């Protein structure tokens, strides 16, 4: 495109110049053309003319050139000038081309208008062909074959062009060509360690980074590096960030960590034995990923997008083949792995790299994401992607960060090594002896990952590890400040490990420290003072190496000075060369991986998988580590716990940072503590709903902490419902509004009319009811200085709030837009409460109000009643009224969606019977209507609501430690048509609303011809089973699971309405 634009711009400039008359009436001499030798000639000025040669040959050539130029420029009419402008702007901006402007066709016209076989015509044609060729990949970098569909256990087939690149068992690459002669005799590795590496005193990290960040680093390092003990040139793991420490680096190891059923991994274990030699927090993090994988495959199977998995077991309704169960397990496992590694890479890029760059210290959503789409413009073509990666030996050395080991982890490592070597000092043990000890320890570990001991934590009968133990390890890890990058800061217990690293580096014959720096366009160290400002280190290096050019890459990269903290820019504060190299490596690792670029799609991960691991910059600036933590331990962490959301920096430092950013109040800084396991109960009359769980979760949105858990009173709607006009008023409202929303939402396709009866009719009408009863009309809201709500936005917000506040373990986190909407709604409710204090109360003996005006009049009175409670308006809004509105409206929506789905599931005869009842009701015969609503609701209705309840000792975990919690989260299943209708006022109100809605719907659909579901998935109320066997719903894209139904399309033949 750049060449094409250059040619077109040249032509454009020619045209512009030739089209302007000079002051003497001649053409401006600033035109550009080609002289007889093909070179560009340029003249300037309004009266100057082309200098002609004195020879006749030169004169003839110039004349010929001038005539040719004029002939070619005649082609540049107005149409072609417009083409030049459009092509140029498209190239400069890098924006997509609007093909409805016929730009391609106009380029063809320009080419045909130019003289046949002219230089410009031929150049334009060649460049156009080049552009068309460049539009497609040659050869393609992805295909639909099963061989390339998923990650291979050993990392092969990641690159279609180079299938073996980056596979386990391949040699390390070399990044930098070593050019300088190095001394044949080099310093003794032990001497190097003792002089410039051995820790003297501990220095905490300058930015209070926690050990968790370096646990992630440990997983990354062991994900892409596993040097063979028999051949240092070979890496026995893949060169991709594919979570090999969890899943294994070959098929045999992978099968050992899998159950072989339903795509799951064995509970709470991981493949890589080496991880057991690290502090427990590293293993706990892998266990979190293990739990996320198993949770993901469960949801993938339940959602079963487009029958992707169920069709393997029963293709086209037939019984599967002999390998159907094995294929089903494989498809679920591999898809679950893509989902889990998708979260893993987002944690690396959005949590880990963000902290490394100190972006967590500022209010910025920017991130260094190698997957960013590059526009094709004049400035730069799109970066290559998905070509494959091979890690290099140099970077094996770059990632040896033992100086950051914390004091706590140093003591842990020392104790473990002492157990292995007996009464000997690990720091003084010979390297060969230490390696033998470590090898024997690895070989003694069981092959089955679940049979391996995990830091003296006893497994439960199902093979899992107790949550309490995992939480304790995690808390200690987050609280633990890591060490600083600096010389003389590697724990002495690591002496043998460091010596081995130096020996390995020498065996690879790599470039020196200075050569490595020059490769990255960094200045070479000319003196030892350039390497490190510490006089002691300078002298030691001088004694060891004699000249800066002789300093080896390793340990050179860790004896350099460390960068100072800079906000933003420098958060890791690592040594200078390392800080530059790791960013280049991060870009290469991610952008070279086909499964993180070309094939990182909803089609590979499923819509739900792609959505659940995605990041949202309005939530924690895009950080997603909270997803894996909260999923693994739902009964311990508050949804806004700092230990889940920002664990890469110590909580104390986080409090300082978040206070500066004005966000401290949105997070819970308390240490996580055990909650009673959630339980499911059939709601009885004596079991109510409290505000405790709701209020605790909404603190993170800015809500005030409640004084104590209180019953949810439904004060507003109960006031509305206490008069006899209540139900007649409801029926009148729903009759009018259901018909109105129906007319507004329907559309025609072929011979049928269609409508989303859940989203655009039932749910929309419920939101209208809330607006009418609560007096939230645009006019009313504007008086309070609040921008009115869009009904669809309010509908979605209430659904999200229900998922967030009334579920055992919320699968959603409210993003920035939701948080702003919640605060806006709370402000509106609080203002209504405050105004209610000035509304005169009605007479003690209620005066009947006209049905059509009931909601408006009694709504105003209801605010007055609520206000007279004397409670603070803001507290009431957050802890009672917002909960009441959310629970009532969403519960009603659920009941009506279930009712509609049940009617449609009855088949043509059942639907026709329901329609007859609706027609009879319009004729005044309503008895059958009431009976049908009661019967169908009883068969279909279920409300699943989580709330606090008094704990029972029978539910105390056997492994429970510490003080007992104050309350237990329990999921209550309500049957709203049974004898326990009064279990909660909000549920009772929801049942009343549903009854009126169902009646209006049945009467509306009564006369419709051929009424039924829309064919295909759009006509289904997609459901999955959630906690406590409760019903959850999927929307049109099936990318989110929610308690709030949002889609079910129906159709009928045109003609009757």
pLDDT digits (tens, 9 = 90+) for 979-1019: 444 457 788 899 999 999 999 999 999 999 999 999 999 99
What pLDDT shows up at residue 813? Answer: 64
CA angle 1018, 1019, 1023 (to 5 degrees): 85
- Cβ neighbours for 634, distance < 8 A, ≥ 6 positions apart: 678, 808, 809
As a whole-number percent, the residues of the chain with pLDDT over 90 amount to: 57
Tokens of 1007: 């006369």
Q: Report the C-alpha dihedral over residues 385, 389, 394, 400, rounded to 10 degrees.
A: 90
Of 246-260, 721-735, 784-798, the poorest mean pLDDT is in: 784-798
H/E segment holding residue 110: helix 103-113
> Could you tell me which residues are beta bridge partners of residue 756?
1049
Q: Which one, of 133, 115, 103, 98, lies nearest residue 3 by Cα? A: 133
- Does the domain at 189-367+381-603 match CATH 1.10.640.10? Answer given as yes
Tokens of 1029: 């066997």
pLDDT tens per residue, range 114-128: 788 888 788 878 878
Residues in the chain: 1057
Q: Which one, of 174, 66, 198, 144, lies nearest residue 499 by Cα? A: 198
Q: Which residue has the higher pLDDT, 1026 or 239?
A: 239
What pLDDT shows up at residue 808? Answer: 67
Q: Do 744 and 755 touch, CB atoms closer than 8 A?
A: no
Q: How confident is the model at residue 424 (pLDDT cuts 50, 70, 90)?
A: confident
> Could you tell me which residues are beta bridge partners of residue 209?
649
Distance CA(597)–CA(580), nearest Å, equals 23
Distance CA(513)–CA(528), nearest Å, equals 12
pLDDT tens per residue, range 503-537: 999 999 999 999 999 999 999 999 999 999 999 99
Burial of 972 (0-12, 13-18, 19+ CB in 10 A): buried
Most confident of 58-72, 374-388, 415-429, 518-532: 518-532
Q: Do 276 and 416 touch, CB atoms closer than 8 A?
A: no
Number of H helices and E strands in the chain, helices first, is 41, 12
Return the CA Rg of the chain: 36
Instruction: Please provide the DSSP assignment of 715-729 as one string.
Output: HHHHHHTTSTTHHHH
What pLDDT shows up at residue 64? Answer: 56
Q: Which one, of 600, 85, 62, lies nearest residue 346 by Cα? A: 600
Q: Do 213 and 281 touch, CB atoms closer than 8 A?
A: no
What pLDDT shows up at residue 968? Answer: 55
CA 981 to chain centre: 41
What pLDDT shows up at residue 28? Answer: 39
Mean pLDDT of 873-884: 89
Distance CA(355)–CA(570), nearest Å, equals 9
Q: Which one, of 1054, 1048, 1022, 1053, lies nearest residue 762 by Cα? A: 1048
CA angle 705, 709, 714 (to 5 degrees): 100
What pLDDT shows up at residue 268? Answer: 98
Distance CA(259)–CA(325), nearest Å, equals 13
Instruction: Please provide the DSSP assignment of 484-506 as one string.
Output: P--SS-B-GGGHHHHHHHHHHHH
Distance CA(340)–CA(626), nearest Å, equals 14
Q: What 3 state SS string does 417-459 have?
A: HHHHHCCCCHHHCCHHHHHHHHHHHHHHCCCCHHHCCECCECC
Of 87-91, 407-411, 613-617, 696-700, the poorest mean pLDDT is in: 87-91
What pLDDT shows up at residue 201? Answer: 97
- Inform me whether the pLDDT recorded for 1057 exceeds 80: no
Mean pLDDT of 346-367: 96
pLDDT tens per residue, range 649-662: 999 999 999 999 99
Q: How confident is the model at residue 700 (pLDDT cuts 50, 70, 90)?
A: low
Q: Is it true that 189-367+381-603 and 679-782+794-859+892-951+968-1053 share their CATH fold?
A: no
> Could you tell me which residues are beta bridge partners of residue 1051?
754, 1012
What pLDDT shows up at residue 111? Answer: 82
Mean pLDDT value across the chain: 85
Tokens of 915: 């329609």
- Inform me whether the pLDDT recorded for 966 exceeds 50: no
- pTM, two decimals, is 0.88
Q: Do 110 and 72 touch, CB atoms closer than 8 A?
A: no
What pLDDT shows up at residue 378? Answer: 45
Q: How confident is the model at residue 357 (pLDDT cuts 50, 70, 90)?
A: very high
Count of CB atoms within 10 A of residue 164's CB?
Answer: 15
Of 4-18, 719-733, 909-923, the poorest mean pLDDT is in: 4-18
Distance CA(821)–CA(829), nearest Å, equals 12
Most confident of 553-562, 865-874, 936-945: 553-562
Q: Please provide residue 748's backbone torsions phi and psi, each rounded to the nearest 5 degrees.
A: -105, 140
- Cβ neighbours for 392, distance < 8 A, ≥ 6 positions apart: 172, 173, 174, 175
- For 781, 827, 839, the CA distances from 834, given in Å and listed in that order, are 14, 10, 10
pLDDT tens per residue, range 263-279: 999 999 999 999 999 99
Q: Please provide residue 943's backbone torsions phi and psi, each rounded to the nearest 5 degrees.
A: -115, 125
Q: Can you state the percent helix, strand and coil of the chain, rounding each to 5?
A: 55, 10, 40
Half-sphere exposure of 861 toward its Cβ, with a 13 Å CA cutoff? 19
Instruction: Please provide the DSSP assignment of 991-1053 as one string.
Output: HHHHHHHHHHHHHHHTT-TT-EEPSSGGGS--EEE-GGG-EEEE-TT---EESS----EEEEE
Of 23-37, 228-242, 429-443, 720-734, the poorest mean pLDDT is in: 23-37
Mean pLDDT of 182-205: 96
H/E segment holding residue 680: strand 676-682
Q: Do 1000 and 766 touch, CB atoms closer than 8 A?
A: no
Residue ranges covered by each domain of the chain:
2-134, 189-367+381-603, 679-782+794-859+892-951+968-1053
- Inform me whether the pLDDT recorded for 288 exceeds 70: yes
Most confident of 78-87, 419-428, 475-484, 685-694: 475-484
- Does the domain at 679-782+794-859+892-951+968-1053 match CATH 1.10.1200? Answer given as no
* DSSP summary character for residue 32: E
Location of structure tokens 């009424």: 1011
Coil vs helix vs strand at 590:
helix
Distance CA(614)–CA(604), nearest Å, equals 14
Q: Do 791 and 771 touch, CB atoms closer than 8 A?
A: yes
Mean pLDDT of 458-480: 97
Tokens of 23: 């002051």
- For 762, 826, 958, 1046, the CA distances from 892, given in Å and listed in that order, are 9, 21, 39, 13
Distance CA(116)–CA(1043), nearest Å, equals 68
Q: How confident is the model at residue 849 (pLDDT cuts 50, 70, 90)?
A: confident
Distance CA(826)–CA(831), nearest Å, equals 8
Query: For strand 676-682 and strand 968-974, is the pairing parallel, antiparallel, or unpaired?
Result: parallel
Distance CA(609)–CA(601), nearest Å, equals 10
Coil vs helix vs strand at 943:
strand
What pLDDT shows up at residue 755? Answer: 97
* DSSP summary character for residue 290: H
Distance CA(447)–CA(252), nearest Å, equals 10
Q: Do 922 and 831 touch, CB atoms closer than 8 A?
A: no
- Inform me whether the pLDDT recorded for 3 exceeds 80: no
Mean pLDDT of 155-159: 96
Q: How confident is the model at residue 377 (pLDDT cuts 50, 70, 90)?
A: very low
Tokens of 992: 């009343």
Burial of 1011 (0-12, 13-18, 19+ CB in 10 A): buried
Q: How confident is the model at residue 976 (pLDDT cuts 50, 70, 90)?
A: low
- Inform me whether the pLDDT recorded for 53 exceeds 50: no
pLDDT tens per residue, range 59-83: 455 455 555 545 555 566 666 777 7
- For 128, 799, 826, 875, the CA distances from 879, given in Å and listed in that order, are 65, 17, 10, 6
Query: For strand 1041-1042 and strand 1031-1034, is the pairing parallel, antiparallel, or unpaired?
Result: antiparallel
CA 803 to chain centre: 18
Q: Give the catalytic positions in this structure.
A: 399
Mean pLDDT of 534-544: 98
Count of CB atoms within 10 A of residue 20's CB?
Answer: 12
Q: How confident is the model at residue 677 (pLDDT cuts 50, 70, 90)?
A: low
Mean pLDDT of 638-666: 95
Q: Largest Cα–Cα distance of the chain, in whole Å?
A: 118
């Amino acid at each position: 495109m750049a060449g094409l634009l250059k040619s077109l711009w040249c032509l454009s400039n020619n045209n512009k110049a030739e089209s302007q008359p000079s002051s003497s009436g001649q053409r401006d001499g600033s035109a550009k053309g080609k002289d007889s030798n093909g070179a560009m000639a340029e003249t300037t000025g309004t009266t100057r003319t082309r200098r002609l040669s004195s020879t006749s040959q030169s004169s003839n050539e110039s004349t010929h050139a001038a005539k040719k130029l004029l002939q070619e420029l005649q082609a540049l009419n107005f149409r072609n000038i417009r083409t030049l402008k459009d092509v140029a702007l498209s190239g400069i901006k890098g924006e997509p081309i609007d093909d409805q402007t016929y730009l391609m066709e106009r380029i063809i016209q320009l080419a045909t208008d130019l003289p046949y076989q002219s230089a410009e015509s031929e150049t334009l044609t060649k460049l156009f062909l080049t552009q068309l060729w460049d539009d497609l990949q040659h050869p393609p970098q992805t295909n639909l074959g099963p061989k390339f569909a998923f990650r291979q256990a050993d990392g092969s087939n990641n690159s279609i062009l180079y299938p073996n690149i980056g596979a386990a068992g391949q040699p390390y690459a070399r990044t930098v060509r070593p050019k300088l002669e190095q001394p044949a005799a080099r310093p003794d590795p032990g001497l190097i360690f003792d002089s410039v590496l051995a820790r003297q005193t501990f220095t905490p990290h300058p930015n209070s980074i926690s050990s968790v960040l370096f646990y992630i680093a440990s997983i990354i390092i062991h994900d892409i590096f596993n040097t063979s003990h028999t051949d240092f040139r070979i890496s026995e793991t893949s060169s991709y960030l594919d979570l090999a420490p969890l899943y294994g680096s070959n098929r045999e190891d992978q099968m050992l960590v899998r159950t072989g059923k339903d795509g799951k991994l064995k509970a709470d274990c991981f493949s890589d034995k080496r991880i057991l030699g690290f502090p427990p927090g590293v293993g706990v993090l892998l266990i979190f990923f293990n739990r996320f994988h198993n949770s993901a495959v469960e949801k993938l199977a339940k959602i079963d997008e487009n029958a992707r998995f169920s069709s393997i077991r029963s293709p086209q309704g037939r019984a599967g083949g002999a390998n159907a169960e094995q294929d089903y397990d494989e498809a679920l496992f591999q898809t679950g792995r893509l989902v889990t590694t998708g979260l893993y890479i987002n944690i690396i890029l959005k949590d880990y790299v963000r902290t490394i760059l100190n972006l967590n210290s500022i209010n910025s959503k920017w991130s260094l994401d190698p997957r960013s789409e590059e526009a094709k413009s004049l400035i730069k073509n799109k970066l290559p992607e998905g070509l494959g990666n091979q890690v290099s030996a140099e970077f094996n050395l770059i990632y040896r960060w033992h100086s950051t080991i914390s004091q706590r982890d140093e003591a842990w490592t020392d104790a473990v090594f002492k157990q292995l070597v007996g009464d000997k000092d690990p720091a003084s043990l010979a390297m060969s002896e230490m390696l033998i000890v470590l090898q024997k320890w690895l070989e003694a570990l069981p092959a089955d990952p679940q049979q391996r001991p995990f830091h003296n934590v006893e497994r439960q009968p199902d093979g899992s590890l107790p949550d309490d133990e995992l939480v304790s390890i995690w808390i200690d890890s987050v609280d633990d400040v890591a060490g600083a990058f600096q010389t003389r800061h590697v724990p002495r217990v690591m002496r043998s490990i460091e010596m081995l690293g130096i020996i390995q580096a020498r065996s690879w014959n790599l470039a020196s420290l200075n050569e490595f720096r020059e490769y990255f366009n960094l200045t070479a160290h000319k003196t030892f003072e350039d390497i490190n400002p510490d006089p002691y280190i300078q002298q030691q290096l001088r004694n060891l190496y004699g000249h800066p050019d002789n300093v080896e890459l390793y340990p050179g990269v860790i004896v350099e000075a460390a960068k100072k903290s800079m906000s933003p820019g420098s958060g890791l504060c690592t040594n200078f060369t390392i800080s530059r190299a790791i960013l280049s490596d991060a870009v290469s690792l991610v952008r070279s991986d086909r499964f993180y670029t070309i094939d990182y799609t909803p089609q590979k991960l499923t819509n739900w998988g792609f959505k659940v691991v995605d990041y949202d910059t309005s939530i924690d600036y895009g950080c997603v580590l909270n997803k894996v933590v909260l999923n693994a331990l739902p009964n311990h962490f508050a949804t806004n716990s700092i230990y889940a959301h920002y664990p890469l920096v110590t909580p104390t430092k986080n409090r300082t940072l978040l206070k500066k950013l004005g966000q401290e109040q949105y997070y819970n800084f308390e240490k996580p503590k055990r909650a009673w396991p959630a339980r499911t109960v059939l709601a009885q009359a004596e079991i109510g709903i409290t505000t405790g769980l709701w209020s605790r979760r909404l603190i993170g949105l800015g809500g005030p902490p409640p004084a104590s858990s209180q019953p949810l009173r439904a004060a507003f709607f109960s006031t509305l419902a206490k008069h006899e006009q209540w139900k007649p008023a409801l029926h009148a409202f729903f009759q009018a509004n259901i018909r109105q929303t129906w007319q507004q939402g329907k559309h025609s396709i072929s011979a049928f009319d269609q409508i989303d009866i859940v989203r655009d009719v039932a749910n929309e009408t419920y939101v209208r009811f809330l607006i009418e009863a609560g007096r939230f009309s645009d006019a009313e809201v504007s008086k309070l200085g609040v921008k009115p709500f869009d009904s669809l936005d309010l509908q979605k917000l209430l659904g999200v709030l229900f998922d967030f506040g009334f579920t055992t373990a919320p699968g959603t986190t409210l993003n920035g837009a939701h948080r702003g909407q919640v605060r806006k709604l709370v402000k509106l409710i609080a203002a209504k409460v405050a105004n209610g204090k000035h509304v005169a109360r009605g007479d003690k003996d209620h005066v009947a109000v006209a049905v059509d005006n009931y909601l408006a009049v009694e709504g105003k009175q209801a605010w007055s009643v609520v206000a007279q409670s004397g409670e603070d308006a803001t507290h009431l809004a957050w802890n009672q009224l917002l909960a009441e509105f959310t629970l009532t409206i969403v519960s009603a929506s659920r009941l009506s969606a279930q009712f509609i789905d049940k009617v449609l599931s009855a088949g043509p005869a059942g639907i026709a019977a329901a329609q007859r009842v609706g027609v009879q009701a319009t004729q005044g015969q309503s008895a059958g209507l009431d009976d049908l609503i009661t019967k169908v609701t009883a068969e279909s209705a279920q409300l699943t609501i989580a709330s606090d309840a008094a704990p029972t000792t029978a539910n105390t975990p056997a492994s429970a430690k510490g003080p007992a919690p104050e309350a237990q989260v329990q999921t209550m299943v309500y049957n709203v048509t049974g004898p326990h209708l009064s279990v909660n006022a909000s549920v009772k109100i929801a049942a009343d609303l549903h009854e009126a809605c169902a009646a209006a719907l049945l009467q509306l659909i009564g006369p419709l011809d051929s009424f039924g579901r829309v064919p295909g998935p759009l006509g289904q109320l997609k459901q999955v089973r959630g906690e406590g066997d409760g019903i959850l719903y999927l929307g049109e894209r099936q990318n989110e699971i929610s308690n709030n139904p949002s889609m079910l399309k129906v159709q009928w033949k045109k003609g009757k309405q």
